[in-house]
Amino acid sequence: MGKRKNRLKAWLTRTLEIPPDVMMDLPRITMVGRLHIYIENHKGLLLFSDQEVRLMLKQGQCMISGKDFVIKTILPEEILLEGKIDEVRYIDS
């Protein structure tokens, strides 16, 4: 049943021209150079330090590593992080 549901979502996304992140509950990540990263549609902050941030996603986690991290904005499903970003990685659960 899960594959069928995903195929239906993919078809609706293509047919109705809805952005995949909206229809498939995916995170939207916007980076400005290595200085800012804005992540929408996450499911919660798991870990924060000045060198690492981990966010829960619908499927897995997103890990951001670097230096001098500061959270500029945090909302229930959005976060704006500032600092020197070295790596952005998805981690399967």
pLDDT in tens, the chain (93 residues): 567 777 877 776 677 666 665 556 789 999 999 999 999 999 999 999 999 999 999 889 999 999 999 999 999 999 999 999 999 999 987
> What pLDDT does 85 receive?
98
Q: What is the value of pTM for the model shown?
A: 0.76
SS3 content of the chain, % helix, strand, coil (to 5): 20, 55, 25
Q: Assign residue 84 a region: left if phi > 0, alpha if psi is -120 to 50, beta otherwise?
A: beta
CB atoms within 10 A of CB 40: 16
In order of their start, the domains of the chain are 27-91 (2.60.40.2000)
